Amino acid sequence: MTIPTTMKAAIVTAYGGAQMVEIQSRPVPAPREDEILIKTIVTTVNSGDARMRALDAPAGMKTLMRLAIGITRPRQPIFGTEIAGTVVAIGPKVARFAIGDDVIAFPGTGLRCHAEYVAVSERKPIVKKPQNLSFEEAAGLCFGGTTALHFLRKADLKPGEHILVIGASGAVGSAMAQLASHFGASVTAVTSAANADLALSLGADTVIDYATTDYTAVSSVYDVIADTVGAFDFQRCLKALKPGGRYLGIAGGIGDMLARPKDGKRPIAGMAAERPEDVAFLADLAAKGEYRALVDQVFSFADIARAHARVDSKRKRGSVVVRVAE
Ligand SMILES: NC(=O)c1ccc[n+]([C@@H]2O[C@H](COP(=O)([O-])OP(=O)(O)OC[C@H]3O[C@@H](n4cnc5c(N)ncnc54)[C@H](OP(=O)(O)O)[C@@H]3O)[C@@H](O)[C@H]2O)c1
């Protein structure tokens, strides 16, 4: 296959709304010695991309966010953390992949996935795509799944424990509900009424409608509360946690990061790790049909700004997917 010298990439020209994203031409990256060059078939626009584009940081973290990603505009203007595609070139030291392999790659905070070609070190989280997954299903495997795995590991969730998953229809929450159930926990999902059946299909034992029920107004019910929405905080969830309980402030701001353990209960917050073994674990589970990354809507690459707008709605179910290859 001939690799062109230029490619289309979605460029975030400045912080702001979805209209800040436009397709421009950029050079195709040349793979370094430990890198594979992937032709992108499908990518996602996720909540991380939308937050960065809008400079929409969790409470108290806007300055930190600017320092991390660019003071006046994004330092890396090509967003996108995950792709499914085909290897079209490899560096001389690459051992794990060959030209022609279909792969799922998660450069994560390294970004650059909203482009027709992406060069990624083979040491990053990359796996061969399970054959039973479409490229659309494969592209959304990593962002929500690795975040859920990270926080479940930090919480040390045990079989038989009771977990409340707030926002069980989102990318992280739908992964959290499935994985917690897979690990043998009893799962109560918090969703809107419209997403109740979806949560049950993901393995939730019970569903609570957030519009009609104050689910924190209970005493000592949950071992773990996974808040993927930022609906509450550690303090507000203390009463609902059992002794030894853990609150996962996945969407949380500086308050959850600085919160101290209280009454034998503890808050867990911060950035999720991006580990190759977590992506391998998720791909293996998906290959066995025991885990699925939900696809919300599929957009064309030319429509990627509309994909950003869909994420901004905060109503998506699972991942918003963008088909890059024609
Ligand atoms: N700490 C980390 O390293 C890390 C990593 C990844 C993501 N995150 C953060 O985690 C959060 C979730 O990300 P995501 O990609 O999963 O979000 P998402 O997919 O955009 O979440 C959308 C879902 O949230 C549901 N929702 C909205 N308000 C709700 C409420 N009050 N109660 C229950 N459900 C509600 C919506 O369902 P309805 O339409 O039914 O309301 C929708 O299905 C984001 O804030 C993101 O920045 C953090």
Of all residues in the chain, what percent carry a pLDDT higher than 70? 100
Distance from C-alpha of 249 to C-alpha of 254, rounded to nearest angstrom: 10
Residues 225, 107 share a domain: no
pLDDT of residue 56: 94
Average pLDDT, stretch 93-113?
97
51 CB within 6 A, ligand 1: yes
Distance from C-alpha of 165 to C-alpha of 185, rounded to nearest angstrom: 11
Half-sphere exposure of 19 (CA within 13 A, CB side): 0
CA of 33 to the centre of ligand 1 (A): 38
With b for 16 or more beta-carbon neighbours within 10 A and e for fewer, the 271-298 pattern comes to ebebbbebbebbbebbbeeebbbbbbee
Q: Is residue 152 part of a domain?
A: yes
Average pLDDT, the chain: 97
Residues 242, 133 share a domain: no
For residue 192, the ligand 1 atom closest to its alpha carbon is: 40
59 CB within 6 A, ligand 1: no
Residues 305, 178 share a domain: no
Reading the block at residue 219, the tokens are 């005493």
At residue 83 the predicted structure's pLDDT band, cuts being 50, 70 and 90, is very high
The total of structural domains in the chain comes to: 2
pLDDT of residue 326: 84
Distance from C-alpha of 58 to C-alpha of 60, rounded to nearest angstrom: 6
Closest-CA residue to 234 (of 267, 194, 189, 195): 267
Distance from C-alpha of 112 to C-alpha of 326, rounded to nearest angstrom: 19
**310 contact partners, CB below 8 Å, separation of at least 6:** 45, 296, 297, 299, 316, 320
For residue 47, the ligand 1 atom closest to its alpha carbon is: 15
CA of 314 to the centre of ligand 1 (A): 7
Q: Is residue 39 part of a domain?
A: yes
Residues 176, 300 share a domain: no
pLDDT of residue 255: 86
Distance from C-alpha of 70 to C-alpha of 91, rounded to nearest angstrom: 30
The residue to which tokens 């109560």 are assigned = 188
CA of 217 to the centre of ligand 1 (A): 22
Residues 227, 156 share a domain: yes
pLDDT of residue 252: 83
140 CB within 6 A, ligand 1: no
Residues 124, 147 share a domain: no
CA of 282 to the centre of ligand 1 (A): 20
Residues 110, 80 share a domain: yes
319 CB within 6 A, ligand 1: no
Of all residues in the chain, what percent carry a pLDDT higher than 90? 94
pLDDT at 1 over 80: no
Average pLDDT, stretch 289-311?
98
Q: Is residue 187 part of a domain?
A: yes
List the CATH number of the domain containing 53.
3.90.180.10
Residues 239, 147 share a domain: yes
Residues 154, 133 share a domain: no
Closest-CA residue to 9 (of 99, 74, 71): 74
The region of weakest confidence among 48-62, 111-125, 188-202, 271-285 is 48-62
Q: What is the pLDDT of residues 183-194, one digit of tens each?
A: 999 999 999 999
Average pLDDT, stretch 119-141?
97
Which residue segment(s) compose the domain that 184 sits in? 143-268
Q: Are 124 and 104 in contact (CB under 8 A)?
A: no
pLDDT at 27 over 80: yes
Q: Which among 164, 169, 200, 214 is the best mutation to test ligand 1's pocket, defined by most ligand atoms within 8 Å of the CB?
A: 169
Reading the block at residue 186, the tokens are 């009893």
Q: Is residue 280 part of a domain?
A: no
Of 235, 252, 268, which residue sits at a domain end? Answer: 268
Residues 209, 124 share a domain: no
For residue 209, count other CB atoms closer than 10 A to its CB: 14
End-to-end Cα, the chain, rounded Å? 16
For residue 143, the ligand 1 atom closest to its alpha carbon is: 6
Q: What is the pLDDT of residues 214-271, one digit of tens each?
A: 999 999 999 999 999 998 999 999 999 999 999 999 998 888 888 999 999 999 999 9
144 CB within 6 A, ligand 1: yes
Q: Is residue 273 part of a domain?
A: no
* CA dihedral sign of residues 175, 179, 182, 188: negative
Q: Is residue 182 part of a domain?
A: yes
Reading the block at residue 188, the tokens are 């109560």
Residues 104, 62 share a domain: yes
pLDDT at 89 over 90: yes
CA of 94 to the centre of ligand 1 (A): 36
List the CATH number of the domain containing 241.
3.40.50.720
Average pLDDT, stretch 54-70?
92
Q: Is residue 149 part of a domain?
A: yes
Residues 156, 95 share a domain: no
At residue 307 the predicted structure's pLDDT band, cuts being 50, 70 and 90, is very high
Q: Is residue 282 part of a domain?
A: no
